Each structure stands twice: as C-alpha cells, then as structure tokens.
Amino acid sequence: MNVYFDNAATTKVREEAIDAMARVMREDYGNPSSTHYSGRYASAVLEGARAKVATALGADPDEITFTSGGTESDNWAILGVAEAASHHGKPRKGKHIITSSVEHDAVLSPIKKLESEGWDVTYLTPAISTGDIPSGAFNDALRDDTVLVSLMLVNNETGNINPINVYSSIIKRRRLDAILHTDAVQGFCKIPFTAGSLGADLISVSAHKIHGPKGAGALYIRKGVKLPPMLLGGAQEHGRRAGTEALPAIAGFGEAAYHANVERETTYESARSLAQYIQNQIRHELPDAVFLGVGGESPYIVSFSLPGYKSEVLMNALEGDGVCVSNSAACKKGARSRVLEAMSYSDDIIDGALRVSLSRYNTPEEAEYFVKSLVKAAKRLIKAR
C-alpha cells in the first residue's frame, strides 16, 4: 500500500482543479488584459476564480490579489508594509516588528533582511505546553512604534493554532496603527475562520495546500490598507502586481478553494477522526512516544517523537513500506527542526520527531497501515538506537 501523509508539504491536485486548468489551456487561453473576446473570456475566468477564493476566505473579491504562492504573499506583506511605513528610507511610524521564532522561513527571511537594515524585531517564543504565542506575551511586546505584526495561524510543523483574533483585538483595544499579517497557508479551508473573524489586515494563502496546483496563491489585503506593489511593469491585479496572471493555475486554485470550502466541515471531521485514531494507537503501541505541542492544534497535523530513534531512519523504514511522512517543513529539506528547538524540546525528542499531515483523500485503512508500519520499524530498529 502507498500512503501519502505529507500533505502539509503539498497535496494531490483534485480532478476538478485539473479539469479547470486544462480547460483554460485549451479554450480560455487569452490574456486577461486583452480587450478582444478571447481576453474577455479569460478575464471572466480570472474574476470567477477570484470570487471563489474570496468566498472561501469570507472576503470581498477586490480584497484578493493573486500571487505565485504563500512565499510571495508573505514576502510582499512584510516588505510592503515596511516600505509603506517609510519615506525615502526614513520611518514615519516607527521601525518595530513583532513575529515569532517558529514562523515559516518565508516570513522570517524577509524580516531578518529588514532587521539587518536597522529594523527592531521582537521574536516571541511559543508556550512549551501548547506551542502557541501567549496573548499576554504578545500584549507586552506591542509598542507605540510597532509597525508590523506577523504571526502564523497554524504552525506548519506542529499544527498549533495561534489566536489571531485575540491579537487583533489587543491591537484595536490599544488603538495602535500596527498592521497585522498572518500566514494562513496551513489553515485556509481547513480550520474554521474568515477574514473578518481573524481581524487580520493581511492574510497569505496558497493553492497547493488545498488540492490546487503549485504556483498559485493569494494575499488578502483588507480594504483601506495601502500596500505598495512588489512587482512593477503592468496594471494587472488592479495595479497591485504586475505581470500576466498565471491563469491556468489560478483557475485551478479557484476550483480547489470552492470545493474545499463546500467540504470544509466533513473534511475537518474526517481529519479529526484519523488524527485521534493515529494518536490513540501510537500511545497504545509505543507508550514512550511524545506528542508535540499538544492542545489546540489542527487535526490535519499530528506531530510526535520517538525519543532515542532518528527520524531520518524511521522515515526511510516507513518509505520502504510505501509510507511518506516528514520530520520538519519540506522547505528545510530534512534539516533539523528549528521550530522544535524554539519550543525548548530536548535533543532526543527533536531528533526523533515525525510529522504526519492529512488530507481529504486519506482513509482509515491508510492510518491503520501507517501505525502498523511505524510499530514494525520501531521494533526492528530498537537495537540500532
């Protein structure tokens, strides 16, 4: 049996999205900016996809700008806010940024770039027990000169959920002008939220985490937020992002968002059931296992460790049985998890960590097969520890 349990890295593209993409490439292949009939047909596809993504996010279509994915959306949000807050290199509002030590590299890298240019950055540390950023620590970090807050909704390694709506309320209660950005790539169409319920000014989402194609994403920009374009050279995306839109990928994104939104509750319950089964079986069969960041996590991600084992060895054994899991974010290419380091786990727990991430296509039979393969690997490798 082949079991794909690495859906936090990417997901299988659903047939409806593939059909939409193929239709655009075969039929509606015009440039959406062209004024002739072919361009108008393509423009209708573009705006239809925008409406579907907006509906799934609980936003207005004109608040959605398409990008190449979560990384671009994150970079644009962070660097754009910094640019907007400065005038000819001189800050107008301040130079303070709040983020966390467990953000995705697509957030931390541009922030570290700004830090090297003189911005003051506060890196919040997650609670060891739950993995989220405590609201009290967030409140203490806020300053009158805070320009930007960037905190992820769902952690891509542990599945821990941050209370973005609480952070938003704190900012509003203190009447601060700080812009709140959240990387919601692992939460979009998975856990229940809308742009309004989060209260964030900027929200990054991606297609390939919800059974859409790679190469498409979006940035929600709340009405009233001024964000300078990162790409120049055209009036596409209402002047926010130059360059001919990747219409096939965007059409697939729209279709994936539509179906994921419709199926959200049933898929959530399916993932929750599978996650509970996996956790319960591992606890029973491997009592030394440690579950990471337990409490308030997304059911789509199960993060645990078998202390004393090496995750790479376990992954290789599982792959031999046709099972795909990971030990950290895919962009780390197997490197040691800095997220778990930031959460103050011991070396033996970090080195034995595995991440199981689920999707709508996973089944109870796959979950049972995975646990059996994991137990078999642990027993076979016990002498090699």
What total number of domains does the chain contain?
A: 2
Does a structural domain hold residue 225?
Answer: yes
Give the global pTM. 0.95
Residues in the chain: 385
pLDDT at 90: 55
Specify if 124 maps to a domain: yes
Per-residue pLDDT, 87 = 66
Range of the domain at 162: 15-262
> pLDDT band at residue 43, thresholds of 50, 70 and 90?
very high
Higher pLDDT among residues 332 and 16, named by residue: 16
Identify whether 238 is part of a domain.
yes
CA angle 22, 28, 29 (to 5 degrees): 85
Say yes or no to pLDDT of 205 above 60. yes
Residue 157 and residue 294 in one domain = no
Lowest pLDDT segment from 124-128, 189-193, 198-202, 286-290: 124-128
Lowest mean pLDDT among 28-37, 94-103, 117-126, 320-329: 320-329
Could you tell me if 122 and 44 lie in one domain?
yes
**According to the model, what pLDDT value does residue 385 have?**
47
Residue 131 has pLDDT above 90, yes or no: no
Question: Do residues 272 and 156 both lie within one domain?
Answer: no
Q: For residues 160-183, give the mean pLDDT.
A: 97
pLDDT tier at 358, thresholds 50, 70, 90: very high
Q: 276 and 195 share a domain? A: no
CA distance 356 to 301: 6
pLDDT band, very low/low/confident/very high, at 92 (cuts 50, 70, 90): low
Query: Average pLDDT, stretch 126-132?
Result: 80
Weakest mean pLDDT among 210-219, 247-256, 331-340: 331-340
Q: In this prediction, what percent of the chain has a pLDDT beyond 90? A: 88
pLDDT of 290 reads 95
* Three-state SS letters, 259-276: HHHHCHHHHHHHHHHHHH
Catalytic residue from among 235, 331, 335, 382 = 331
Query: Domain boundary at 262, 279, 297, which?
Result: 262
CATH number for 65: 3.40.640.10
Q: Among 5, 14, 12, 8, which Cα is nearest to 363's?
A: 5
pLDDT of residue 334: 53
Which element (helix H / strand E) includes 212?
Answer: none
Write down the residue that tokens 């989060």 correspond to. Answer: 198
Domain end (from 262, 294, 312): 262
pLDDT at residue number 383: 45
227 lies in the same domain as 371: no
CB 37 within 8 A of CB 241: no
- Whether residue 221 is found in the same domain as residue 293: no
Rg, C-alpha atoms of the chain:
21
pLDDT for position 329? 52
Residue 330 confidence (pLDDT) above 70? no
257 and 308 assigned to the same domain: no
CATH of the domain at 364: 3.90.1150.10
> Do 243 and 272 belong to one domain?
no
The average confidence (pLDDT) of the chain is 93
Q: If you count DSSP H runs as helices and E runs as strands, how many of each does the chain have, helices first? A: 13, 14
User: Is residue 338 in a domain?
Assistant: yes
Question: Are residue 150 and residue 211 in the same domain, yes or no?
Answer: yes
Residue 140 carries which side chain, given as an amino acid letter? D
Neighbours of 74 (CB within 10 A): 31
pLDDT higher for 129 or 118? 118
- Of 262, 291, 320, which residue constitutes the final position of a domain? 262
Interval 46-71 mean pLDDT = 98
Selected residue with higher pLDDT from 219 and 380: 219
- β-sheet with 202-206: strand ranges across: 64-67, 217-221, 202-206, 179-183, 146-150, 96-100, 120-124
189 an active-site residue?
Answer: no
